[in-house]
Amino acid sequence: MNMTRRQLLILLPAAAVAWKSILAGTPEASPNYNMTEHWWGMLVDITKCIGCGSCVRACQMENAVTDGYFRTWVERYHVSDYDIENPKVDSPDGGKNGFPPAAVSDGKNFFVPKMCNHCADSPCTQVCPVGATFVSPDGVVLVDQKYCLGCRYCVQACPYGCRFVDPKKETAQKCTLCYHRITKGLTTACCENCPTGARQLADLKNPNDPIHEFLKTHAVQVLKPYLATRSKLFYNGLDGSVR
Amino acid sequence: MKAFKDAGHLFRLASVFLVGGVLFLAFRGVLVPRSFGQYGHYRGNAIKETAALPISYAGHQVCESCHADILEVKSKGVHKGVACEACHGPLAKHADDPASIQPAKLDTAVLCVRCHEANLAKPKSFPQVVSAEHSGGAPCDTCHQPHSPAIVAVAGASQ
């Protein structure tokens, strides 16, 4: 085959474009789950939380979370009489094994389950230098475990302290909202195992989800609303002392 | 008339840029994963990889499809809202292969106090006991049946 240098130079870019379109392939069709039909969040009813730690244990078992690290945890707040700005917070082993009896009986005591807020405008995804973390089209903040470098930018950026770098994998880890469960029609491990129903998975795009009625009829709050992260972790009965 | 006597230099320079551009596109095509940018500035397949992770908790609907007798008892008691695996632990493997993988026997002395041990931070309406005073160390299932814990047969049990 005879080809001049000029012909080769003209052909190369065309070949590159063709090769790229071959590599791109066609996206895999998912017959059962359509990402565009969902917008996930969660409802936490603090008035129902008994601090049993079932959610923490369930999360660790379901997601094989390294011991000593938590994708969800429970905090116990103690607010001395009217000292709302200085709550005392403890969370022994993430609340995994429950809580010891309170040392003091004044003021008020309550439990606050914490986890990723799955913010629609998440500060953690904006700082990733390699595009390894993102908000999925159905509103779940995920980490690409193959792309993450473990640089910890996102760990610092999360205002809710919901990320950590796994010491073995050296990648950022966080709550996936049990993405492997909710895409199969199950609820999250923490919601499934909450004995009092203090946690409820919520699909904000599903008009039949009871979350809509609940949000309309209750005084619901998100954590740190002044950060405008558009958190989708809704708290019922959230005390002003909660950080 | 020649516009520029060394026009050949420009062609050589242009070809260097062209080759560079082609190489850039070729490397980019190989190095950037095919699903990158499918939904945004990230690898679209990362979503599928996360969704493909294995499940540990089968979910109470799966349990109930076989253990209808337990559901019958449980649905009448105050524990009707408590999912099976909240106490029995993750049992998706048992659900997949009920014959060879059996759930471990549970110790109610450990299990019940996780929820019912008295604590000031628990909602006042939630039933709580100080277990040491309440049962004196006896296992909870001496009196209570965990699936429906209200004591109904007190008269018969006390002889």
Q: A113 and A64, same structural domain?
A: yes
Contact residues, chain B, for A47 at CB < 8 Å: 123
A75: containing domain: 36-120+181-236
Q: A43: distance to nearest CA of chain B, Å?
A: 17
Q: A93 and A157, same structural domain?
A: no
Q: Does A54 touch chain B (CB under 8 A)?
A: yes
Q: How many CB pairs under 8 A join A and B?
A: 159
**Could you state, in order of their start, the residue ranges of all structural domains in chain B?**
7-51, 56-103, 106-159
- Residues A11-30 pLDDT 10s: 887 777 666 666 554 444 44
3-state secondary structure of A175: coil
Q: A224 and A197, same structural domain?
A: yes
Whose tokens are 């240098």? That residue is: A5
Token pair listed for A145: 């475990």
Instruction: Specify the pLDDT at position B4.
Output: 76
Please tell me the least confidently modeled range out of A118-122, B15-19, B146-150: B146-150
**Of A63, A152, A176, A205, which is closest to residue B47 (Cα–Cα)?**
A176
Residue A161 domain flag: yes
Q: A159 and A232, same structural domain?
A: no
Q: A199 and A128, same structural domain?
A: no
| Cα B15 to Cα B35: distance, rounded to the nearest angstrom | 31
**Of A15, A1, A50, which is closest to residue B121 (Cα–Cα)?**
A50
**Residues B46, A99: C-beta atoms closer than 8 Å:** no
Helices (H), ranges, chain A: 5-24, 54-63, 123-126, 153-157, 179-182, 189-193, 211-217
**CATH code, A107:** 3.30.70.20
Q: A144 and A86, same structural domain?
A: no
Residue A101 domain flag: yes
Mutate: best of B35, B115, B133, partner A, most A CBs <10 A: B115
Residue A98 has pLDDT above 60, yes or no: yes
Residue A158 has a CB neighbour count (10 Å cut-off) of: 22
Q: A98 and A196, same structural domain?
A: yes
ipTM: 0.84
Indicate the number of domains in chain A: 2
Closest partner residue to A47 among B52, B53, B123, by Cβ? B123
| Cα A7 to Cα A11: distance, rounded to the nearest angstrom | 6
Q: A185 and A151, same structural domain?
A: no
Task: Give the 3-state DSSP-derived string for chain B, with helices as H, strands as E and coil as C.
Answer: CCCCCCHHHHHHHHHHHHHHHHHHHHHHHHHCCCCECCCCCCECHHHHHHHCCCCCCCCHHHHHHHCHHHHHHHCCCHHHHCCHHHHHCCCHHHHHCCCCCCCCCCCHHHHHHHHHECCCCCCCCCCCECHHHHHCCCCHHHCCECCECCCCCHHHHCC
Q: Considering chain B, what percentage of its residues have pLDDT values greater than 70?
A: 93
| Cα A28 to Cα A38: distance, rounded to the nearest angstrom | 18
Q: A114 and A59, same structural domain?
A: yes
- Residues A40-84 pLDDT 10s: 999 999 999 999 999 999 999 999 999 999 999 999 999 998 889
Residue B3 has pLDDT above 80, yes or no: no
Q: A105 and A43, same structural domain?
A: yes
- Residues A229-241 pLDDT 10s: 999 999 999 999 9
Q: How far is CA A229 from the centre of its chain?
A: 13
